[in-house]
Every structure is written in structure tokens, then in C-alpha cells.
């Protein structure tokens, strides 16, 4: 296999992994949204911070931040709780007592110890205290995000592995196929070179934006106090739902198109003949397992990784082409 052929194979594999990584990421995000994973990890952080399993209900009861909670049963906080809102739920400056006295009156918890330390550092001067708390809150949010990322990475690998097995995305077999089939390799390389961004990127961004608008419209609708507010929220809800449907259709069409193209040029999916052949040979079982695992790890790296690598390989390939090839 020559250098240019090897680069073409790598380019084709980058395209394949980018496509399936984007699908896996979309599934992962859908599962996270369905299960309210971000809110659950924030609840876990708040429970540990306040040493109180009922803290979410107590925070919702606070009139200063209760509007952020869309869950009527208050079992989950919002996906993000800003620093000022969290601080306002703990410290009430409408009371005549001082900042130091209010902190001292709090039940013992990591939150109280944090506020005591911040108060001592800032000498309980409000502007400095607030700035220091917001800086601490960034670290708290970073820790919550790290918990969320660890969980989603594990889920993403599970989705990637399931996808690799279901579609028989055997990296070793695909590399061999691309190396031995010039037509399939050329078609895949042409498709990969034409990619100017993550597949379905614009539609995916539109879908996420519409999803965010839909969630905000739902929150406003829950908090509406009069008919005009409810009417405006309902209109916004309907518009965001329409945009979500349109973006979802665009994503589905793009993914279907790309999957049909890949399926037409690559040996994806299981056949009875292959299943029988692999099942009866221990060496083939091992090779197939390694190929599927490699694909699962590759897909779990995410589409941005493969898009960046695809562009780098494309640049190297363009430099390495002969003058006669470049003039074509």
C-alpha cells in the first residue's frame, strides 16, 4: 500500500468515524435531556454542599430563586444555578442582621464553612464577598460539570459500542476493504474532501437552539401570571416546536443521505454468511472483537475530533499529490 493510498484510507476512516460519532453524540444528548442528567448532577452537588437531601425543595421555596425551578414537585433543580441566585437563597439582606450573623446562623455544612472562610477573607465587605463567592461558584460548577462529563463519557462509549456491534462497524475490516477497493476508496475520499464542517452541523445547532427556546418558553408558561403572558409563552412554544421539527427533519435527511452513501460503498451490517464464518473460528472472533472495540473507542472520541483530523489529513494529502494530479 503506497503512501497516498494509506492517506486515502485514513481519510475515509475519518469520514466514517465522524459520521457515526455525530449520531452517537446526538443519541447521548437526547438521553441526557430525557433523563435530566445535568439537573441531577447539580442536585447531587447541592445535596453534598448543604449536607441536606431536601435542599432542592427548600431552595424552590425561596421566593428569590423559586422561579428558576420548572419542576412542580421540586425534585430537580434547573440545569444551571447562577451564583447570585444561589447566594440570595442563603443570605437575605432584607433582614436587619449582619452578613456574619446570618452565616453563623446557618446549619453546619460545607456551604456554611465555605461562606465563613470567604467572610473572613473579605472581612464581610459585601462587594468583595460577592466577588469571592462568584469565583468559588465557578469551581463548584466546574466540579459538577466534571461529574456530568464522566457519566456522559461512559454512556457515550456504551452507545458507541452498541452502534459498532449493531452496524458491524469493524475498523480492521473496513481498512482492508478500502485498501483493496479503489472505487470505494475514491468515492469515500471525494465525499470526505467535500465536507466543510461537521456533518449536519448547521441543522444540529438549529435544533439545539430551538430546544433551548422551547425549554425557556415552558418555564415562562409555568410562571405566567396573566392571559397576555400565557398567550405570548404559548406562541413562543409553538414556534420553537416548529423549528425543532424542521431542524429534526433536516438532520434526519442529512444522516439518511450520508448513511445510504456509506452503506453503498462499505460492508456495513451483518450477513448470515459472515456470522457463520466468524462464529466458528476463534481467531476471527478475536479479530472481529478488536475491530469493533477499536471502532467504539474511535466513535466515542466525538465528531469534532474526527473533523479536525480529517482536515489535517486532507491538507497533508494535498501537499503530497503530484503536479499532474493537482492540475486535474
DSSP string computed for 60-75: HHSTTTGGG---TT--
Residue 73 in domain: yes
Residue 75 located in a structural domain: yes
d(CA 45, CA 51): 10
Which residue ranges of the chain lie beneath pLDDT 50? 322-328
Q: Domain of residue 62: give its range.
A: 7-199+268-320
Say if 111 falls within a structural domain: yes
Query: How many domains is the chain partitioned into structurally?
Result: 1
Residue 275 located in a structural domain: yes
Q: Is the residue at 234 inside a domain?
A: no
Collapsed DSSP state (helix, strand, coil) of residue 151 = helix
Predicted pLDDT of residue 65: 64
Largest Cα separation within the chain, whole Å, is: 84
- Residue-wise pLDDT for 93-146, tens only, equals 667 678 888 888 888 888 888 989 988 888 888 888 888 888 888 888 888 888
Contacts of 139 (CB under 8 A, 6+ apart): none
CB 177 within 8 A of CB 184: yes
Residue 251 placed within a domain:
no
User: Other C-beta atoms within 10 Å of 39: how many?
Assistant: 22
143 falls within a domain: yes
Cβ contact 9:179 at 8 Å? yes
Q: Residue 325: inside a domain, yes or no?
A: no
Amino acid at each position: 500500500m503506497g503512501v497516498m493510498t494509506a492517506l486515502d484510507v485514513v481519510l475515509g476512516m475519518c469520514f466514517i468515524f465522524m459520521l457515526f460519532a455525530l449520531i452517537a453524540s446526538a443519541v447521548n444528548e437526547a438521553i441526557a435531556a430525557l433523563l435530566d442528567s445535568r439537573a441531577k448532577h447539580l442536585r447531587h452537588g447541592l445535596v453534598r454542599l448543604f449536607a441536606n437531601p431536601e435542599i432542592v425543595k427548600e431552595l424552590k421555596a425561596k421566593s428569590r430563586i423559586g422561579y428558576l425551578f420548572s419542576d412542580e414537585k421540586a425534585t430537580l433543580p434547573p440545569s444551571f444555578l447562577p451564583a447570585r441566585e444561589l447566594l440570595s437563597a442563603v443570605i437575605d439582606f432584607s433582614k436587619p442582621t449582619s452578613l456574619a450573623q446570618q452565616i453563623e446562623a446557618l446549619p453546619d455544612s460545607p456551604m456554611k464553612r465555605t461562606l465563613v472562610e470567604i467572610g473572613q477573607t473579605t472581612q464581610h465587605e459585601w462587594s468583595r464577598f460577592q466577588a469571592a463567592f462568584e469565583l468559588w461558584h465557578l469551581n463548584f460548577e466546574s466540579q459538577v460539570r466534571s461529574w456530568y462529563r464522566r457519566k456522559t463519557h461512559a454512556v457515550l462509549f456504551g452507545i458507541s459500542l452498541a452502534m459498532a456491534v449493531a452496524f458491524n462497524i469493524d475498523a480492521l475490516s473496513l481498512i482492508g476493504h478500502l485498501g483493496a477497493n479503489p472505487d470505494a476508496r475514491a468515492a469515500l475520499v471525494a465525499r470526505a474532501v467535500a465536507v466543510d464542517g461537521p456533518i449536519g452541523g448547521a441543522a444540529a445547532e438549529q435544533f439545539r437552539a430551538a430546544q433551548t427556546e422551547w425549554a425557556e418558553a415552558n418555564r415562562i408558561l409555568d410562571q405566567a401570571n396573566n392571559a397576555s403572558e400565557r398567550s405570548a409563552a404559548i406562541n413562543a412554544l409553538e414556534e420553537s416546536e416548529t423549528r425543532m421539527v424542521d431542524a429534526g427533519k433536516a438532520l434526519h435527511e442529512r444522516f439518511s443521505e450520508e448513511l445510504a452513501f456509506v452503506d453503498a460503498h462499505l460492508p456495513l451490517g451483518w450477513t448470515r454468511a459472515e456470522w457463520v464464518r466468524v462464529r466458528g473460528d476463534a481467531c476471527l472472533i478475536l479479530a472481529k472483537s478488536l475491530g469493533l472495540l477499536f471502532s467504539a473507542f474511535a466513535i466515542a472520541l466525538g465528531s469534532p475530533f474526527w473533523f479536525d483530523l480529517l482536515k489535517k489529513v486532507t491538507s497533508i494529502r494535498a501537499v503530497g499529490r503530484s503536479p499532474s494530479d493537482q492540475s486535474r
